[in-house]
Amino acid sequence: MKTTIALASLALIGSLAACDNARPLQPTYEEDLAAITAFNKRYLGSINDEDIKTLSSLTTDGHVMLMPGREPLVGKTANDEANGRAFEQFDFAEEWHPIETVISGDLGFQRGTYTTTATPRAGGDARSISGNFLRIYQRQSNGEWRMTRDTFNSVPAATN
How confident is the model over 132-151, as pLDDT tens digits?
999 999 999 999 999 999 99
Q: 114 pLDDT exceeds 70? A: yes
The pLDDT of 103-112, averaged and rounded, is: 97
Local confidence band at 78 (pLDDT 50, 70, 90 cut-offs): very high
Helix then strand then coil, % of the chain, to nearest 5 = 40, 40, 25
Mean per-residue pLDDT of the chain: 88
Q: 8 pLDDT exceeds 90? A: no
Q: What are the chain's domains?
A: 28-154 (3.10.450.50)
| Pair 156, 144: CB distance under 8 Å | no
